[in-house]
A and B are shown apart, each in its own frame.
Chain A
Amino acid sequence: MKEGNYDVPDGLYYSREHEWVKLEGKLARVGVTDYAQNKLGDVVYVELPEVGKQVKQVTEQKTKEMELGAVESIKAVSAVYSPLSGTIKETNAALQERPELINTSPYNEGWICVLDASALEAELKQLIDAKAYAEYLKKL
């Protein structure tokens, strides 16, 4: 679906920090939303987390353990916060060579990492669905 100018695909979970989650069994694939990539501008570099790193689900008070990495444009750096707690299983090496995938394909080729979620059921309650995220975007 679309909210204004932004793509908000169904079937994904979203966080208020503008990340999306695609459930793949017990694993969760994570990236940033179309709204996020639009606000970031042209991405020039992606700082990917290390495989094996343990992360916590992001809360109001952001800490380092909630960071998945960072996305850089030429004028800004934005931390990417983890929508779920867990261990990093895989990161998207393609982003090293082609960081612009985050702009051109934020929900597909621009995925950032895959998490082995540690408290999936409980934490999913903190995330919202496409409809709710679209509503959230309206208010920004």
Chain B
Amino acid sequence: MSYQQARWAEPLIFELSKPGRVGWTLPEKPRERINVPKELLREKLELPELSEPEVVRHYTRLSQMNYSVDSGFYPLGSCTMKYNPKVCEELAALEAASYIHPHQAEETVQGALELIYRLERCLAEIAGVARVSLQPSAGAHGEFVAMLVTRAYHKSKRDDKRNQVIVPDSAHGTNPASAAMAGYEVVTVPSNARGRVDLNALKATVSERTAALMLTNPNTLGLFEDQIIDIAGVVHDAGGLLFYDGANLNGILGKTRPGDMGFDIVHFNLHKTFATPHGGGGPGAGPVGVQRELEKFLPVPLVEYDKKKGRYYFDYDRPHSIGKIKGFYGNFGVLVKAYAYLLLMGGEGLSEVTEAAVLNANYIMRKLLGVEGYELKFDASGPCKHEVVFSAEPLKRMTGIGAHFVAKRLLDFGTHAPTYYFPPIVPEALMIEPTESESKEELDRFVDALRTIFEEARSDPDKVYSAPTATAIGRLDEVKASRQPILSWRAYRELAKE
């Protein structure tokens, strides 16, 4: 199987513009005089002028130069690039979903309220929590909200000293960043030789200043934190809360639940585990679930059901709530897709998702262990979960070629590169998450590609150094891009003049 991405030297849309062209029509000419002082009116607006077919062709060509899950294998670690069912798209696009206004009288949006309510119940059951807010727009947003809830909780206990949040050294960057945004001092706890949180180090790190520990389980190495019960005990005994980063939920659906592990706050990534499309960087949704004691701090509003009146309503009567963390109620369009996905899978289907995902990752792990150049830095004796992190350090030692070049060469095989250089505790890391959406053949192809790259690195390194060549464009000067940032068409045009 050979791969070749489309290649267009597609100009910027501004460069295709011609005065007088327009790509749309308006129903009626304005008739009423608008009383606005002249000095507020703009004189000029430089936007492209194109007809509809030109706009369509331009963006169609751009789309052809963009790799996606629907194009091929996309094993980005901790991103869960699984298949996005198309029926979910159809449902979110229905008029009854996309043409409703958030301020409409509640009796006219009972369907939306019911869907939010039902989705909340499902997520609460999956994670083992009491209530869930569907308001946050993304994982990092959910983490930020969790930190605000944490602070509200400790404040309610008049516990002012708790200004520290602990994260493992393998944590995803959004964790410490979200904690810092909420005003916390971030303290790192190291991982042990088994790749898990060092329990003794954790015991030495918690104190009366600990507000929370942020953890994902399985962790970013794809390993299950098997000492989680002890970890929870240590943090709770110190008076802190336990926050679960739900990025890796795909590794444990139906097998165990964060709530049962002892987590007080759980966040979800609907655009990961629950198959809503990533959209090239969003929109997503990052709901936050909590145990009963923390329920009152959740953002307003929550959806409740009035049994007597037989209707759903928004509950704003929540005096301890942290308030709002986004306009309106969350990314409703994304919620519709996630809800439909849950119905398509059912409880047993979700367990099967996890089994297939975990098996795929373990399959890659075993097969790749048999390929020279790649090794596991941690514990290879037990299974991994839904993702596995290899190190290309042996390859680098032997040939000077590390994870960065492996990633670039993989693109030529019609595969998106795994996450690399993360987690920071593994040198030359290749973080591989296959998901349940990949066939055995696809996994075999991937392992073969890595084997081929190893061989090329040894015998024909130029092939690797010159990669990628099958993509729309070859290696870019990213250093120049950051040294002298050109961030708009206007800036580009002015520079071109010089």
Q: Which residues of A contact B (CB under 8 A)?
A: 42, 44-45, 73-75, 99-100
Contact = CB atoms under 8 A, between A and B. Distances in A.
B104 interface: no
Q: Is the interface of B mostly helix, strand, loop or mixed?
A: helix
Interface string B138-168: 0000000000000000000000000000000
Contacts of A45: 482-483
B40 to A, nearest CB: 38
A85 to B, nearest CB: 25
A73 B479 CA distance: 8
Interface in B413-443: 421
A21 B481 CA distance: 32
Nearest to B479: A42
Nearest to B483: A44
Interface of B: 421, 478-479, 481-483
A84 to B, nearest CB: 28
12 contacts: A42-B479, A44-B479, A44-B482, A44-B483, A45-B482, A45-B483, A74-B478, A74-B479, A74-B482, A75-B421, A99-B483, A100-B483
Nearest to B478: A74
B326 to A, nearest CB: 30
Nearest to A103: B479
Contacts of B479: 42, 44, 73-74
Contacts of B481: 74
A8 to B, nearest CB: 23
A82 to B, nearest CB: 23
Contacts of A44: 479, 482-483
A44 B477 CA distance: 12
Contacts of A42: 479
Contacts of B478: 74
Contacts of A100: 483
A5 B482 CA distance: 27
A103 to B, nearest CB: 10
A74 B477 CA distance: 11
Given A44-B482, A44-B483, 11 more contacts: A42-B479, A44-B479, A45-B482, A73-B479, A74-B478, A74-B479, A74-B481, A74-B482, A75-B421, A99-B483, A100-B483
